[in-house]
Each structure stands twice: as C-alpha cells, then as structure tokens.
Chain A
C-alpha cells in the first residue's frame, strides 16, 4: 500500500498517510488527482480504479471517503476489509465515529492508524490489541490541562 487518504464529499482532505516518503509537490498532485477521480464516481460504481501504475481502492462511509493507493499485486478485496477494519477501530475508539471526531482529533486518528498499519503493511489484525495499545499509550500522555499547570523547567 502506498498511501491512505480520507476526504469529505466536498473534497476536503481529512487525513493523509504516506507509506513512502514523497515531496510535498508530488503529494499534492496525487491528492488532487485522486480526490477528483473518486468524487466523480457514480454512487453504484465499483470501488476500484486504475490510476497510473496504482490501483485506487476507495469506500465511502457516511460523508467520508476512505481511499487507498495500492501496488499492482495487492489484493483489492483485502484492502476494502482493511479500510473497514480501520473504520471499526475508529468507531470503537471514538464511539460511533463521525467526521467531526476525525477533524478535531486528527492526531488520534493517525495514532490509531499507526497501531494498525505500519509502512503500508497490516501489523495488527486484532481489534482488541490495537485498542489496548492505544489505551496504554494514551495513559502515558498527559492532558493539556496538566501541562498548563506545570512549572516551566
């Protein structure tokens, strides 16, 4: 998998994850092309597209499009399952996730993704383990209020 994009129906980007490092210019170009292409799809069309040498797999959940760029040999159906699993994870973490959750807690969405997928490969298929590691690392994290009240050094 090369990248994962989340964008709204209006084409606003909500999350972008690149599993290979690219320059900003290239990223922007890909984002623009892919969002345009996906948004132009009629509602009942299939979820796969061929774009340059990549396979684009997308799926719409409520007002959000989840969209992946795959290499030639990757399995599209598995990727759809992966997207679904990610949505489930978000759902589990935020409790009935909506677009606003992802907008306001976008770093959490990234952290969940990082626990689930690394370098474009699935690292953990169990929802429970992802949830556990998220919980544990969150417990390490102090809240904003705490740091406001801390002395400077």
Chain B
C-alpha cells in the first residue's frame, strides 16, 4: 500500500508540468505538431489517473494547448472534475479551463450547476470569485435560470470583492435569462449607493449597459445618476454615466438641457482625453435630440467642433481618428458647422494612415453639396490613381459612387459628368466592384431619361473597346460593366448612332471568353439591336443593309449556340432560328421590322426593393389564419418549436374552435391585445404595421430637353475634368447673367449707394445643367412611403426591454408577481419533477425551457419506467391532459405562469445527486399536508367568466386543478416537508439499483415561525476554514404585507459566535440583505465561528423586522433557537477504500457502537438517509453491509460500519474524538427514531 503511494509520487515527479510543456514546444520548432500529439497522448494518460493533482496539471496543459488552437473539447468532463476539486489550486485551474473552452454547445455544462452553486456559497471569497469569473464566460440560459437567485444573494455579500463581481455577472445573467431582470433590479439599484466605490462602479456599469439597449425603462434613474455625475471624481465611472446619459437624452429632451452645462464644464476642465471625448460624444447626442425642439445651442456645437478640430489637428493619430469619427456624428444634424472645416478633412485624405483616410472619406459623404461635388470627386479620383493597395482603392471607388448617388443623386447637376466618371472608373484594374459600377450605369441610364443618348454613346465606345477591359477575365471583376454596357445599348438602341457597328462589336469571337451571364446579355441585346437595324432600314428600297445584318447574326451566333453555358446556348439557338426565319421573309421582301420590334416593346421600370412588403393586405385576408389544421399535438411532441418566452400567446387553433364565430374571435383578439399591452414581456410589433395607408403622389418633374453640347475630347486630359471646367464656365455665365439682371434692376431703381456683391453663391443658386427626370422606383398601389428598418429580432438585448419603473416607484402599480420570483436555491434539491408534470409540460407548446437532448432522453427513460409501473394511471392522466388543454386557451397567462413557477421551484438534478440521493416529489399531495403548509393566500384574480355554458363544466374542473397546482407550487416552495402518499408515482433518481424509490428528504428544519414570517435553516460546515460553519436561513413572508429592515441577531456563547462585520459590536444584529414582498421567500446566510465541535450547541437569537402594509408599519420580533448539531460539523468527503483501510489499521481511532431496532426500511434508504442527513459518503457496500466515511471541519475522521439484518441495524463506529462520535451516533439514532 505505502509502496503504491510512493510509486505514485515518483511517477508524478516525472510528469511534465506546464513549464516543461512550453519549453518542449519551444525546443521542437521543426516538428511541433508531432511533439504536441505525443504530449496530448501523455495528457490522456494522466487524465485517466485518480489523482486530482495529476488531472489538474493535465487540464492546465490542455488549456495552453487550446490557446494554440488544438481541440480539447474531448476533455470537457475532466475539466468539470477539476472544477469540483475542493482545493483552490485545482479549482482555479478547472474554472480557467472551463472559461476558455466551454460554450453553449458544451453539453457537460449542465453537470456543473450544483458545483457552481456550491462554490458560489463557499465561505471563502476566492472560491466564490473564481466561480463567478468562470460563470461570466460560459453562462448558458439554463445556468442563468438556475443560479440567478444565488448570484442575486451574492450581490449583498458582506465582502465588496464578491459584491462587485456578482453585480457584474448579473448583467450576463440578464442577457441569458431576461426574466431575472425584474426581481433583481431593486437590489441592483441599491448597489448604486453601495459604500464601496468598486461595487458602485460595477452597478453603474451594468445599468449603463442595460440602459444603452433599452433606455426608456431607465429614465426614472436619471436624477440619481445626475447626482452621481456631479459628485463622482472617478473618470471610469464618469465616462460610464455620461455614456448612459447619451442613451437617455434622445428620449427626454429636458434631461439634455440640464446636462449641457455640466458637460461643457467638464469639457473645459478635464485633462483626460477619454473623458473629454465621451463628453463631446454625449453633447453631440444631446444636441441631436434637441435639434428639433431647441434651435439655439450653437455655442455648444461650436465648442464641440472646436475641440474636435483640436483633436484632428493633434499629432496623435488616435485623437485624429476619433476626432473625425465624432465629427461625422455632428455632420448628420449640423452639417454646416462641419462643412466649414472641409479644408482640414481634405487634408486628412492625404494622411499616411489608412484608417484615418477612411474616416475622412466617411465625412466627405456628408459634406458634399451641389457646389463642391465635382471638386471633391476630382480629388478622390486623383487618390484613386495614387492608391497603392487595392482595398483602399476599392474603398475609394465605393465612396465615390456612394457620394454621388446619395439621396437619389441629389447633388449631381450634370449627369454626363457622372457617366464619364463611371467610365473612367472602369479603367481600374483588378477591382472587385465592377458590378457596383455596372449597377450605377444601369440605374442612371434607366432613371435619368435625358441622359440616355449620352450614356448609350459612351457604352457603345466601351463595347467597342471591350478588349481593354477584359485583358485578363479571370482576375478582373471589371468586365461586369460590359453587362451594363450591352444591356444599355440594346435597350435604348434607338439612341445609337451606328447600331450596326455596335452589333458587330457584340458578336466578336472574343466575347466567348466572358463569363456566361454576360454572354447571355450580349446575345439577347444583339437581338434587340437587330430589331433596331431592321426598323432603320425599313422602307428603303435597297434592303441590302438589313440583309447583311441578318447574315452577320447567322454567321456569328453559332459560336454562342455551342457555349457551355445553358443560358447562352438556349438564347442563342432560339434567336438564331428566329433570324433564319426572318432572313427567309426578307428574301421574299416581306416587311418584318414591326413584328420584330414588337418582341422588345415596352419599357422596364425599376422596382423598389421594399415593394413586396408594401403591398397592402386586402380586406378579409388574415395571413395568420391557418389554411389547414395543424397536426395534432400528440404526434409531434418533440418537433414542437420551443418558444423562448413562456408567455407567448397560445395558438388558438384546436379543431373544436373552428365553429367559433367571427364575433367571438374579435372579442378574443381584443382581450389578447389588452393582455399584451399590459405584459412587459410581450415584444410589441413594430409600429409600421399599424400605419395608415395613403396613396403616394408620384409627381413627375416636367422634362425639359436641353440641347446637349457634345464635349470635345481634349487629348491628355481625363474626360470628366472637362465637365468640371464646363460647369464652372456655365455657372459663371449664369452668375454674370444674374448680376446683369440685378444691375439692371438697380439702375432702374436708381439706388443711392452701391450694395455689396451678393455674397458667395449659395446652394439654391446652382441650377442643374439639364433638368432630369429621376424616375422613382415603382411601388405597389396604396403602398406607404416609410423607412422602417426593423431591428434585428435576434438581438439578445431586445428581450431585456422590460418595464422596471413600477418596480422602482414602489409596490403600488405592479409588484413582482409570484411567477417572477427567481428559482430559490436549495442545497440538495429534494424536489424532482414527477413524470406527470413532465408530461404536462411537454404537452404545452409554449414551454420555454430549452431542454438538451440528453435531458430529454433521460426523461424518456423515466417515462418508460413509469409507464410500466403505473399503467392504470395512464388513463387517468389522459383525462387530465384533455381537461388541461382546455384552460390553455381561455387563460393562457395564468396557466403558463403556474407551469412556470413549478419549473422554477423544481431545480434540475445533476450528477451531484448521485451521492446525495434525492427523490421525486409526489404528484398528489394530500390535502391535509397542503393545507398545513399553505396559509391563506391572496387569490389570483380570475379572468371573468365569459365562456359559453358549454365550457362551464370544464372550467370548474379546471379551476379545481388550478388550485391543486397552486398547492403543489406552494408545496415546492417549502423546503422541508415530510411528504406522504403518492410514493408509487414517483421516480427514483438517486440510486442506480432498481429498488424502491426514496422518499423526499430535506435538511432544512424549522427555526421559528409566527403569523408573519417563517424561518427554516440548515447548517453547513466549511472545508476551507476549520472553525467556521455557515447557517443558511430561508425567510418566507407569510403575510400580505411587505417585510423590511430585518435584523438577525444571536446571543453568542463562548464557543460559538456570529461573525459580524468589522467595527460592529458583539451584540449588534446583522441586517438581512433583502426585503420580502408578500409571499416571497429568500435565503440569507450567516457565518458562525466555532471553537470546539465535539458537543452540540444551542444558541438563542431574535429576528426583528418591520411589517409594512399600506396603512401602517409595525415593529415585530421573533425569537428562535439555533441548534448546532455535531452532524453539522461534518463534511461529506469521499474516501477511497484503500485509504479507508489504512485509516482503520492505524489504530488511532476509538470505537463505539449503536444498535437500532425495528428499522423498517430498505437498506439503501437507510444509507441514503445517513448520507443525506449526516453528511457521510459510502466507501464500499457489500450486500447488507456498508462502510461509510465522513470528516469534520477540524479534520476528525469518522468511520462507520453499518450492518443490517431483520429490522435490526448495527452501527460500529470509529473516530479519533470519542465525544464527537458519541454525539453523532446519538443524532443518527434520533433521525431513525423519527421515522
């Protein structure tokens, strides 16, 4: 034995630790992969060992490998093992590994729930800290739901270290489990005024993050934050608060007005750039929100712009970048104040840093006007030529197009210029944005009718010089423009000067190297051109030209007929046959032109992308109504979509409702709307659906054709430049004319003095070169002109849009409903869902819980077991089910709520429970038991009974059931109950053997009770500290009033003392860190220090509290006695059999024994009871004999040998402390005498 241990230690000395691994990897640079694969093999071996230290070492190495990119998901279970080690060293490594490797898809996460809960409640703050940190990385919706209450309790922990972590984690919990927000919010708000600045800052952080997403729910906190802002000196906190205000001001302009002053003060005074930047940003947000209501804040805008200018001029590139970024925000509302800094921004375009240039480009987008567009684009074109990297060049290209095309080509005064720019852009090699240019060409040519002639001419040139564009088709995206060119030439071929030449260009053999979709367009448009040529030559006596064209097509088209591309092939062969037929007719001198042109008659208009959405729904059509009945539920239980929100409206589509008349439906719809309006969880539809339809007035701007002067080509100068010159000339001319007119007027008036020249020309002075008809996109009739950009429905923050105001303003309007309570923690969840409940849950499609497949499987197994056991009951349940389906429709809210709370009350089980067996709750609690544990509760308001008499009977039944459910629910909330009956209905989870199931057990026992409050408690040892125990007390408010200011005090004895915070006197009470609304229970824990643990102890104590009802508030108190049993000093500690044997052999232990007569229960029940109530673990079990082990917090070993025969149980026990042993045995005896 000893040899084995020594050998194990030696082995371990040769294990690689992390440092060795890192060193090894560095020394094997050439064959790193090979080296690592041998390391992974070693790690796998190490993970197989029992020694937790070896495992932890292996997991640590795996974490490193994971960072290097190796897959370590196979070790997830080992990570969980290391996490659950009691030693901080290993626990820390385990949690680190978990936070690095786990994600929502990791299935072992669900095994960790109880371990994490245990660690969270550990008296060692670093255990708790490590668990919280880990949780922040891998929290899943399930974990969030199960642990929300634990974390919420930690928010009031005595140590600020834990409080601040808990507060920050709560945000992650809210994201995963939005239902926790309402119950946790009051406490979160409390933390804003926490004495510890770290906790305060954490709370500010969390509320800021929440408010950023759903600001309207946090408006009421503004005064509080305002106070914080003016008093705080911590820049980290200030920045967050200011950011928060930035989110709030758009909703409340008055707040903005109030903010301007302190913010501008800060801007003037602060030296921290980050704070300055945040202030400027928020001032901008405020100004944006005020821009409609309050015009006069130019001073603030000027201040911001000035400060930003300083930033942009700074040599620090970061500040330059941010200055430009902030500038672009001002630009949206106050373009004028930014436009005056155009020089600066244009300078930034020359910066060597690409990101700065990109930000400057963003700004340009908003700075263009009719006046400066050409100038700016010219500058950009120069940059395009200079740009070294293709990415930046592509970015420039898209920006040019964006700038020009913005708001429906608002700033373009000369479209010829724009087309020339587009054509110039086609000379860029290797750009990815050929399609973008192409679509612009198409768009302009289609929508600006006046430009078609020019566009067609340019496109024809492009087609003619196609070889320049298609130098290398493989890498060249630019050939996409040929698609546009061909289409434009074909569609508007009437503008072509020489269609024959273009046609020839389109049928060159080289075209066959273009991508298929372009060839297809070529072929199709060749046919259009053909039609145009025919028409042109129609009526001429000499039909030679037309016949030549046909001949050309007949010669060239076969090339395309052979194309590998189906589209091209099909079109080509079709058109080829057509042309051949036409040729025949031509030879007979039949006039065909008109018929051929008719093939391509009609104009194509652009259709708005949102057109389909805007088609109004005709009256009488209900898109949500079922066309066919949905399949019955029983058939496809598993495939039912699981809704995320439990309270989603139920589908009212059962077969028996098809006869329900229209009126009834309308009434229900109304009721449902009402419900939804009052339900903060219901996510309302976007307002657009309720808008009134009105017919759009598409006003056509009258088209005035102006003679186009065809620009001369100046050699050596890019074409678009000519337009700039021409445009300038034109404007000057116009100006001169105007002046002349003015002068004339003046002369006529004979004005006394000379007036100043009419200043710089303003926007309105510039008239477009030609009036253009920008064709608006086609919309369906009755469409509404709106720009509703729906929010992303997958945004997790959407779910957090929860009304918190009535929580804040007191209890009056909508206090926490029963169902909103967070699942209450239990140390050893003694309540399992019974199979009947399971089935009920499954039959409800609205069920919110996402169950992992594993869980489902387990459940199925359970179900099958259950089926065998109680076949007769099935029938009964079927009835149940039928009845239950009925209420679902009439009272969806309530039914689901109760379902919900049931789920909450029953925490999920995990592998942990195998050692501490637990069992299922009975389905039917006997009415007596229920009545005992259920005080008169305020009845939930039942919705009015408006149902037809046909349903009445069912309803009564249902009500009865509801009541029963409520009882059950109540029952689950009580953590101690000695349940009876229904044993045959329960499912056993704890033990592996297929033996009789265990009755439910709980370690919580009654501490004290009066008409207001009930306290139950449990005492736990603490393995980190040998002199401390933790007392968990669950307080339950039994009254209809609010309980607050609870103070827990204990009269210390010499041996046991309540741990009070530093500075508190020895007789001061501890404030319970929460308040209790009616019917709510919550748990608090108190740490006691104990010196000697060999004797049981009783401590007297008092709980004082204030009962606050609407009219009065009274002071109450309740005395209690805390009973510290010796058992409570024991900690469940697993022990290996060899170590156990060694312990017994050592001879240090004193023996004692106990006989129990008349114990009438199966052996495994007996063991389970000892394990559960007395914190033992089974070392070995052989038939009706078992050895058990436990350890006290001070390290005493307690060993039991339990034997049973015929209702007699003998327990031989050994311990190194005889009096402790004696007391433990007494307590065991007592446990069994109770049953």
Closest 7 CB pairs of A and B: A77-B274, A46-B317, A153-B1139, A119-B136, A21-B103, A45-B353, A140-B88
- Find out whether the CB atom of B126 lies under 8 angstroms from the CB atom of A124: no
Q: Which of B89-97, B540-548, B621-629, B1075-1083 makes up part of the contact surface?
A: B89-97
A42 interface hit (Cβ, 8 Å): yes
Chain A residues with Cβ below 8 Å from B1136 are 152-153
Within the complex, which residue of A48, A103, A121, A149 is in contact with B9, where a contact is CB–CB below 8 Å? A149
Q: List residues 14-59 of chain A with CB under 8 A from any CB of chain B.
A: 14-16, 18-19, 21-24, 28, 42, 44-50
Consensus secondary structure, chain A interface? mixed
B8 interface hit (Cβ, 8 Å): yes
CA distance A107 to B56 in the complex (A): 12
CA distance A137 to B87 in the complex (A): 12
- Find out whether the CB atom of B277 lies under 8 angstroms from the CB atom of A77: yes
Contacts known (A42-B352, A47-B318); A124 close to B13, Cβ less than 8 A: no
CA distance A14 to B69 in the complex (A): 11
CA distance A147 to B52 in the complex (A): 10
Within the complex, which residue of A14, A46, A121, A150 is in contact with B318, where a contact is CB–CB below 8 Å? A46
Kindly state the interface size class of chain A when it binds its partner: 35 or more
Consensus secondary structure, chain B interface? helix
A 82-107 to B, binary, CB cutoff 8 A, 1 in contact else 0: 00000000000000000000011011
Q: Which of B17-25, B774-782, B810-818, B1146-1154 makes up part of the contact surface?
A: B17-25
Within the complex, which residue of B5, B105, B136 is in contact with A151, where a contact is CB–CB below 8 Å? B5
- Find out whether the CB atom of B129 lies under 8 angstroms from the CB atom of A137: yes
B 69-86 to A, binary, CB cutoff 8 A, 1 in contact else 0: 101010000000000000
22 contacts between A and B (CB under 8 A): A14-B67, A16-B100, A21-B138, A21-B139, A28-B69, A42-B352, A46-B318, A46-B356, A48-B322, A48-B355, A73-B212, A73-B247, A78-B274, A81-B274, A110-B96, A119-B136, A122-B201, A122-B205, A133-B129, A137-B126, A141-B88, A148-B53
- Find out whether the CB atom of B236 lies under 8 angstroms from the CB atom of A125: yes
A75 interface hit (Cβ, 8 Å): yes
Q: List residues 182-212 of chain B with CB under 8 A from any CB of chain A.
A: 198, 201-202, 205-206, 209, 212
Within the complex, which residue of B67, B139, B172, B320 is in contact with A16, where a contact is CB–CB below 8 Å? B67
CA distance A110 to B136 in the complex (A): 14
Q: Which of B162-170, B445-453, B511-519, B631-639 makes up part of the contact surface?
A: B162-170
- Find out whether the CB atom of A111 lies under 8 angstroms from the CB atom of B92: yes
- Find out whether the CB atom of A141 lies under 8 angstroms from the CB atom of B89: yes
B150 interface hit (Cβ, 8 Å): no
CA distance A119 to B202 in the complex (A): 11
Chain B residues with Cβ below 8 Å from A118 are 132-133, 136, 165, 168-169
Chain A residues with Cβ below 8 Å from B274 are 75, 77-78, 80-81
B436 interface hit (Cβ, 8 Å): no
- Find out whether the CB atom of A77 lies under 8 angstroms from the CB atom of B60: no
Chain A residues with Cβ below 8 Å from B973 are none
- Find out whether the CB atom of A13 lies under 8 angstroms from the CB atom of B355: no
Contacts known (A107-B60, A148-B13, A149-B9); A45 close to B92, Cβ less than 8 A: no
Other than A104-B19, A144-B17, give 20 A-B pairs with Cβ distance below 8 A. Answer: A13-B68, A14-B67, A16-B100, A42-B353, A45-B352, A45-B353, A45-B356, A73-B212, A75-B277, A78-B236, A78-B274, A106-B64, A111-B92, A118-B132, A124-B164, A140-B89, A140-B126, A147-B12, A148-B12, A153-B1138
Chain A residues with Cβ below 8 Å from B88 are 137, 140-141
- Find out whether the CB atom of B234 lies under 8 angstroms from the CB atom of A48: no
Within the complex, which residue of B4, B212, B247, B352 is in contact with A44, where a contact is CB–CB below 8 Å? B352
Chain A residues with Cβ below 8 Å from B12 are 147-148
Instruction: Output the nearest chain B residue to A14 by Cβ-Cβ distance.
Output: B67
B171 interface hit (Cβ, 8 Å): yes
- Find out whether the CB atom of B198 lies under 8 angstroms from the CB atom of A123: yes
- Find out whether the CB atom of B5 lies under 8 angstroms from the CB atom of A75: no
A24 to chain B, nearest CB (A): 7
Chain B residues with Cβ below 8 Å from A77 are 273-274, 277, 318, 322
Q: List residues 528-547 of chain B with CB under 8 A from any CB of chain A.
A: none
Chain B residues with Cβ below 8 Å from A18 are 100, 137
- Find out whether the CB atom of B102 lies under 8 angstroms from the CB atom of A76: no
Chain A residues with Cβ below 8 Å from B17 are 144
- Find out whether the CB atom of A136 lies under 8 angstroms from the CB atom of B164: no
- Find out whether the CB atom of A152 lies under 8 angstroms from the CB atom of B92: no
- Find out whether the CB atom of A21 lies under 8 angstroms from the CB atom of B102: yes
